[in-house]
Amino acid sequence: MRIKITTIAVLVVSYLFLFSGNIKAQEELAAYFNAATLEMEISDAANKVYNALKDGGFEILGDYHPESNKDLFVVAYTRKDLQQICLRKDDRGALASILKIGFIKKEGIVDVSMLNPMYVFYAYLGDHTDKNLSELQKIDSDIKASLSKVGNGFTPFGGSEEADDLKKYRYMAFMPRFSDPVELNEFSTFKEGLTTINKNLDAGKGNTTKVYELDFPEKEIAIFGIGLLDTEKGEAHFLPIIGEENIAAMPYEIILQGNEATMLHGKYRFALHWPELTMGEFMKIMSTPGDVEDFMEELTK
Protein backbone atom coordinates (compact mmCIF):
# COMPACT_ATOMS: atom_id res chain seq x y z
CA MET A 1 0.00 0.00 0.00
CA ARG A 2 2.86 2.35 0.84
CA ILE A 3 4.40 1.76 -2.58
CA LYS A 4 1.15 2.62 -4.35
CA ILE A 5 0.75 5.88 -2.40
CA THR A 6 4.35 6.82 -3.16
CA THR A 7 3.86 6.07 -6.85
CA ILE A 8 0.70 8.15 -6.97
CA ALA A 9 2.43 11.00 -5.15
CA VAL A 10 5.29 10.99 -7.63
CA LEU A 11 2.87 11.03 -10.55
CA VAL A 12 0.91 13.92 -9.03
CA VAL A 13 4.07 15.93 -8.37
CA SER A 14 5.33 15.21 -11.89
CA TYR A 15 2.01 16.29 -13.39
CA LEU A 16 1.98 19.51 -11.39
CA PHE A 17 5.57 20.24 -12.39
CA LEU A 18 4.82 19.75 -16.08
CA PHE A 19 1.58 21.71 -15.82
CA SER A 20 3.29 24.64 -14.11
CA GLY A 21 6.01 24.58 -16.76
CA ASN A 22 3.35 24.82 -19.45
CA ILE A 23 1.82 27.85 -17.71
CA LYS A 24 5.24 29.48 -17.66
CA ALA A 25 5.75 28.75 -21.35
CA GLN A 26 2.40 30.41 -22.12
CA GLU A 27 3.12 33.47 -19.99
CA GLU A 28 2.05 36.78 -21.50
CA LEU A 29 5.09 38.97 -22.04
CA ALA A 30 4.61 42.72 -22.25
CA ALA A 31 6.41 44.43 -25.10
CA TYR A 32 7.46 47.37 -22.89
CA PHE A 33 7.70 48.58 -19.33
CA ASN A 34 7.43 52.10 -18.02
CA ALA A 35 10.52 52.22 -15.81
CA ALA A 36 10.37 55.76 -14.41
CA THR A 37 8.61 59.11 -14.50
CA LEU A 38 11.03 61.94 -13.82
CA GLU A 39 10.59 65.68 -13.52
CA MET A 40 13.78 66.81 -15.26
CA GLU A 41 15.39 67.33 -18.65
CA ILE A 42 15.87 64.35 -20.96
CA SER A 43 19.64 64.77 -20.77
CA ASP A 44 19.55 64.48 -16.98
CA ALA A 45 17.24 61.45 -17.12
CA ALA A 46 19.53 59.82 -19.68
CA ASN A 47 22.57 60.38 -17.45
CA LYS A 48 20.77 58.65 -14.59
CA VAL A 49 20.04 55.69 -16.84
CA TYR A 50 23.61 55.61 -18.21
CA ASN A 51 25.07 55.46 -14.73
CA ALA A 52 22.57 52.82 -13.56
CA LEU A 53 23.28 50.57 -16.53
CA LYS A 54 27.04 50.97 -16.26
CA ASP A 55 26.86 50.02 -12.60
CA GLY A 56 25.17 46.81 -13.76
CA GLY A 57 28.00 46.04 -16.17
CA PHE A 58 26.14 47.16 -19.29
CA GLU A 59 27.70 49.11 -22.16
CA ILE A 60 26.04 52.08 -23.85
CA LEU A 61 26.32 51.60 -27.61
CA GLY A 62 24.74 54.84 -28.77
CA ASP A 63 21.83 57.23 -28.51
CA TYR A 64 19.84 59.66 -30.67
CA HIS A 65 16.70 61.76 -31.04
CA PRO A 66 14.20 59.89 -33.26
CA GLU A 67 12.48 62.17 -35.79
CA SER A 68 15.22 64.70 -34.86
CA ASN A 69 12.78 65.60 -32.08
CA LYS A 70 14.45 66.95 -28.93
CA ASP A 71 11.58 65.55 -26.82
CA LEU A 72 12.23 61.99 -27.98
CA PHE A 73 15.38 60.07 -27.10
CA VAL A 74 16.59 56.45 -27.31
CA VAL A 75 19.56 54.70 -25.74
CA ALA A 76 20.88 51.37 -27.06
CA TYR A 77 22.86 49.13 -24.70
CA THR A 78 24.32 45.63 -24.41
CA ARG A 79 26.50 43.38 -22.24
CA LYS A 80 29.23 40.87 -23.09
CA ASP A 81 27.50 37.83 -21.62
CA LEU A 82 24.33 38.68 -23.55
CA GLN A 83 26.34 38.94 -26.77
CA GLN A 84 27.90 35.52 -26.19
CA ILE A 85 24.49 33.91 -25.69
CA CYS A 86 22.98 35.57 -28.75
CA LEU A 87 25.88 34.52 -30.97
CA ARG A 88 24.97 30.89 -30.27
CA LYS A 89 22.11 31.35 -32.74
CA ASP A 90 23.68 31.62 -36.17
CA ASP A 91 20.69 33.08 -37.99
CA ARG A 92 20.77 36.76 -36.97
CA GLY A 93 20.59 35.92 -33.26
CA ALA A 94 23.05 38.75 -32.60
CA LEU A 95 20.17 41.20 -33.09
CA ALA A 96 18.86 40.21 -29.65
CA SER A 97 22.07 41.39 -27.99
CA ILE A 98 21.05 45.04 -28.37
CA LEU A 99 18.31 46.42 -26.11
CA LYS A 100 16.81 49.89 -25.92
CA ILE A 101 15.42 52.46 -23.52
CA GLY A 102 13.14 55.29 -24.61
CA PHE A 103 12.57 58.77 -23.22
CA ILE A 104 9.58 61.00 -23.98
CA LYS A 105 9.27 64.49 -22.53
CA LYS A 106 5.84 66.10 -22.14
CA GLU A 107 5.12 69.20 -20.10
CA GLY A 108 8.34 68.96 -18.11
CA ILE A 109 7.90 65.25 -17.30
CA VAL A 110 10.09 62.52 -18.80
CA ASP A 111 8.65 59.02 -19.13
CA VAL A 112 11.37 56.39 -19.30
CA SER A 113 10.41 53.15 -21.02
CA MET A 114 12.28 49.96 -21.73
CA LEU A 115 11.87 47.33 -24.41
CA ASN A 116 11.18 44.13 -22.47
CA PRO A 117 14.32 41.96 -22.82
CA MET A 118 12.44 38.65 -22.52
CA TYR A 119 9.99 39.75 -25.23
CA VAL A 120 12.91 40.36 -27.58
CA PHE A 121 14.72 37.16 -26.58
CA TYR A 122 11.75 34.93 -27.37
CA ALA A 123 11.07 36.74 -30.64
CA TYR A 124 14.64 36.84 -31.96
CA LEU A 125 16.23 33.79 -30.34
CA GLY A 126 13.25 31.44 -30.47
CA ASP A 127 13.98 28.03 -28.95
CA HIS A 128 17.47 29.22 -28.02
CA THR A 129 15.78 31.28 -25.31
CA ASP A 130 14.64 28.11 -23.55
CA LYS A 131 18.08 26.53 -24.00
CA ASN A 132 19.72 29.53 -22.29
CA LEU A 133 16.80 30.52 -20.07
CA SER A 134 18.53 30.85 -16.71
CA GLU A 135 21.31 33.02 -18.18
CA LEU A 136 18.85 35.26 -20.02
CA GLN A 137 16.61 35.59 -16.97
CA LYS A 138 19.65 36.65 -14.95
CA ILE A 139 20.42 39.37 -17.49
CA ASP A 140 16.78 40.47 -17.44
CA SER A 141 16.89 40.66 -13.63
CA ASP A 142 20.15 42.63 -13.72
CA ILE A 143 18.64 45.18 -16.10
CA LYS A 144 15.62 45.69 -13.87
CA ALA A 145 17.79 45.87 -10.77
CA SER A 146 19.88 48.57 -12.45
CA LEU A 147 16.91 50.62 -13.62
CA SER A 148 15.14 50.32 -10.28
CA LYS A 149 17.72 52.85 -9.05
CA VAL A 150 16.16 55.36 -11.46
CA GLY A 151 12.43 54.62 -11.12
CA ASN A 152 10.00 52.99 -8.77
CA GLY A 153 8.57 50.05 -10.66
CA PHE A 154 7.92 48.43 -14.02
CA THR A 155 4.44 48.97 -15.43
CA PRO A 156 3.73 46.92 -18.58
CA PHE A 157 2.31 48.65 -21.66
CA GLY A 158 2.27 48.50 -25.43
CA GLY A 159 0.63 45.11 -25.81
CA SER A 160 1.79 41.59 -25.08
CA GLU A 161 2.27 38.17 -26.64
CA GLU A 162 2.69 34.67 -25.26
CA ALA A 163 6.26 33.41 -25.12
CA ASP A 164 5.64 30.47 -27.46
CA ASP A 165 3.82 32.71 -29.94
CA LEU A 166 6.77 35.09 -30.06
CA LYS A 167 9.04 32.29 -31.29
CA LYS A 168 7.05 32.04 -34.50
CA TYR A 169 5.50 35.49 -34.50
CA ARG A 170 3.86 37.00 -37.53
CA TYR A 171 1.09 39.57 -37.71
CA MET A 172 -1.28 37.36 -39.67
CA ALA A 173 -1.27 34.46 -42.11
CA PHE A 174 1.18 34.74 -45.00
CA MET A 175 2.98 37.68 -43.39
CA PRO A 176 6.77 37.43 -42.81
CA ARG A 177 8.37 35.98 -39.70
CA PHE A 178 11.79 36.58 -38.15
CA SER A 179 13.12 33.90 -40.50
CA ASP A 180 12.00 35.89 -43.58
CA PRO A 181 14.49 38.79 -43.77
CA VAL A 182 14.87 41.28 -46.56
CA GLU A 183 18.08 40.69 -48.51
CA LEU A 184 19.64 44.10 -49.11
CA ASN A 185 22.91 43.32 -50.87
CA GLU A 186 25.63 40.72 -51.21
CA PHE A 187 29.28 41.78 -51.18
CA SER A 188 32.42 40.01 -52.25
CA THR A 189 33.67 39.96 -48.64
CA PHE A 190 32.58 40.91 -45.12
CA LYS A 191 35.19 43.68 -45.12
CA GLU A 192 33.76 45.19 -48.31
CA GLY A 193 30.29 45.21 -46.79
CA LEU A 194 31.54 46.86 -43.61
CA THR A 195 33.38 49.53 -45.56
CA THR A 196 30.48 50.24 -47.92
CA ILE A 197 27.83 50.60 -45.21
CA ASN A 198 30.03 52.82 -43.04
CA LYS A 199 30.98 55.01 -45.98
CA ASN A 200 27.32 55.56 -46.84
CA LEU A 201 26.36 56.21 -43.22
CA ASP A 202 29.18 58.70 -42.83
CA ALA A 203 27.80 60.52 -45.87
CA GLY A 204 24.27 60.51 -44.40
CA LYS A 205 22.97 58.72 -47.48
CA GLY A 206 19.18 58.45 -47.54
CA ASN A 207 18.95 61.04 -44.75
CA THR A 208 20.05 58.44 -42.22
CA THR A 209 22.29 58.56 -39.16
CA LYS A 210 24.34 55.86 -37.47
CA VAL A 211 23.20 55.46 -33.88
CA TYR A 212 25.51 52.56 -33.07
CA GLU A 213 27.62 49.81 -34.57
CA LEU A 214 28.35 46.51 -32.86
CA ASP A 215 30.98 44.33 -34.53
CA PHE A 216 31.94 40.70 -34.03
CA PRO A 217 34.92 40.41 -36.41
CA GLU A 218 35.73 36.82 -35.49
CA LYS A 219 32.20 35.82 -36.51
CA GLU A 220 32.06 38.26 -39.44
CA ILE A 221 28.93 39.89 -38.03
CA ALA A 222 28.18 43.60 -37.70
CA ILE A 223 24.97 45.29 -36.61
CA PHE A 224 24.13 48.91 -37.43
CA GLY A 225 21.43 50.86 -35.61
CA ILE A 226 20.15 53.46 -38.06
CA GLY A 227 18.02 56.53 -37.47
CA LEU A 228 15.63 57.27 -40.35
CA LEU A 229 15.47 61.05 -40.44
CA ASP A 230 13.69 61.62 -43.74
CA THR A 231 10.82 63.98 -42.89
CA GLU A 232 8.40 62.57 -45.47
CA LYS A 233 8.98 58.81 -45.24
CA GLY A 234 11.11 58.29 -42.14
CA GLU A 235 10.40 58.29 -38.41
CA ALA A 236 8.72 61.70 -38.47
CA HIS A 237 6.11 60.18 -40.78
CA PHE A 238 5.37 56.78 -39.26
CA LEU A 239 6.04 57.13 -35.51
CA PRO A 240 3.26 59.69 -34.84
CA ILE A 241 0.82 57.39 -36.66
CA ILE A 242 1.61 54.08 -34.93
CA GLY A 243 2.57 55.51 -31.53
CA GLU A 244 5.62 57.31 -30.19
CA GLU A 245 5.06 55.65 -26.79
CA ASN A 246 6.84 52.58 -28.21
CA ILE A 247 9.90 54.68 -29.03
CA ALA A 248 12.22 52.06 -27.50
CA ALA A 249 11.60 50.01 -30.67
CA MET A 250 13.97 52.31 -32.53
CA PRO A 251 16.39 52.55 -34.24
CA TYR A 252 15.98 50.11 -37.12
CA GLU A 253 18.84 47.71 -37.88
CA ILE A 254 20.93 46.35 -40.71
CA ILE A 255 22.81 43.15 -39.92
CA LEU A 256 25.82 42.11 -41.98
CA GLN A 257 26.66 38.42 -41.68
CA GLY A 258 29.53 37.22 -43.79
CA ASN A 259 29.12 38.97 -47.12
CA GLU A 260 25.31 39.39 -46.91
CA ALA A 261 23.46 42.43 -45.56
CA THR A 262 19.86 41.91 -44.45
CA MET A 263 17.16 43.60 -42.36
CA LEU A 264 14.07 42.31 -40.61
CA HIS A 265 11.03 42.74 -42.81
CA GLY A 266 9.04 45.84 -41.91
CA LYS A 267 5.78 43.86 -41.87
CA TYR A 268 7.34 41.70 -39.17
CA ARG A 269 9.34 44.23 -37.20
CA PHE A 270 6.70 46.96 -36.96
CA ALA A 271 3.98 44.48 -36.01
CA LEU A 272 6.22 42.84 -33.39
CA HIS A 273 7.16 46.12 -31.72
CA TRP A 274 3.64 47.57 -31.99
CA PRO A 275 1.59 44.46 -31.15
CA GLU A 276 -1.56 46.47 -30.45
CA LEU A 277 -1.73 47.84 -34.00
CA THR A 278 -5.08 47.25 -35.65
CA MET A 279 -5.28 46.44 -39.33
CA GLY A 280 -6.65 49.93 -39.94
CA GLU A 281 -3.64 51.50 -38.22
CA PHE A 282 -1.28 49.20 -40.07
CA MET A 283 -2.81 50.29 -43.37
CA LYS A 284 -1.97 53.92 -42.55
CA ILE A 285 1.73 53.02 -42.79
CA MET A 286 1.25 50.60 -45.68
CA SER A 287 4.14 52.14 -47.62
CA THR A 288 6.55 52.30 -44.65
CA PRO A 289 8.05 48.78 -44.84
CA GLY A 290 8.97 49.44 -48.46
CA ASP A 291 10.26 52.93 -47.66
CA VAL A 292 12.51 51.55 -44.92
CA GLU A 293 13.78 48.89 -47.28
CA ASP A 294 14.65 51.61 -49.81
CA PHE A 295 16.61 53.56 -47.17
CA MET A 296 18.53 50.47 -46.13
CA GLU A 297 19.27 49.37 -49.68
CA GLU A 298 20.80 52.79 -50.38
CA LEU A 299 23.19 52.24 -47.48
CA THR A 300 24.41 48.94 -48.90
CA LYS A 301 25.20 50.16 -52.42
Q: What is the CATH number of the domain that holds 202?
A: 3.30.310.70
Q: For the whole model, what pTM was predicted?
A: 0.90
Asked if the structure places residue 199 within a domain, the reply is yes
Asked if the structure places residue 4 within a domain, the reply is no
- Maximum CA extent, the chain: 81
Asked if the structure places residue 136 within a domain, the reply is yes
For residue 19, what pLDDT is reported?
A: 37
Domain of residue 90 covers: 29-299
For residue 26, what pLDDT is reported?
A: 61
Q: Is the peptide bond before 251 cis (omega within 30 degrees of 0)?
A: yes
Nearest-5° Cα angle at 205, 78 to 179: 50
Q: Tell me how crowded residue 59 is: count the other CB atoms within 10 A of its CB.
A: 14
Name 16's Cβ contacts closer than 8 Å, sequence gap at least 6.
none
For residue 39, what pLDDT is reported?
A: 96
Asked if the structure places residue 24 within a domain, the reply is no
Asked if the structure places residue 1 within a domain, the reply is no
Asked if the structure places residue 168 within a domain, the reply is yes
Nearest-5° Cα angle at 85, 79 to 89: 130
User: Facing residues of 214 across strands?
Assistant: 223
Nearest to 84 by CA among 223, 261, 216: 216
Q: How many Cα atoms within 13 Å fall on the side-chain side of residue 188?
A: 2
Asked if the structure places residue 16 within a domain, the reply is no
Specify the amino acid at residue 291: D
* Helical residues (DSSP H) of 26-108, grouped into ranges: 42-55, 80-86
What does each of the 301 residues of the chain score in pLDDT, given as a tens digit? 433 434 444 343 333 333 334 434 467 999 999 999 999 999 999 999 999 999 999 999 999 999 999 999 999 999 999 999 999 999 999 999 999 999 999 999 999 999 999 999 999 999 999 999 999 999 999 999 999 999 978 999 999 999 999 999 999 999 999 999 999 999 999 999 999 999 999 999 999 999 999 999 999 999 999 999 999 999 999 999 999 999 999 999 999 999 999 999 999 999 999 999 999 998 999 999 999 999 999 999 9
Helix (H) or strand (E) holding 237: helix 235-242
Backbone torsions φ then ψ of 283, nearest 5 degrees: -65, -25
Q: Which pLDDT tens digit goes with each residue over 188-207?
A: 999 999 999 999 999 999 99
For residue 21, what pLDDT is reported?
A: 41
Asked if the structure places residue 87 within a domain, the reply is yes
Number of H helices, E strands in the chain: 12, 11
> What SS3 string covers 98-161?
CEEEEEEEECCEEEEEEECHHHHHHHHHCHHHHHCHHHHHHHHHHHHHHHCCCCCCCEEEEEEE
Report how many domains make up the chain.
1
Q: Is residue 125 within 8 Å of 89, Cβ to Cβ?
A: yes
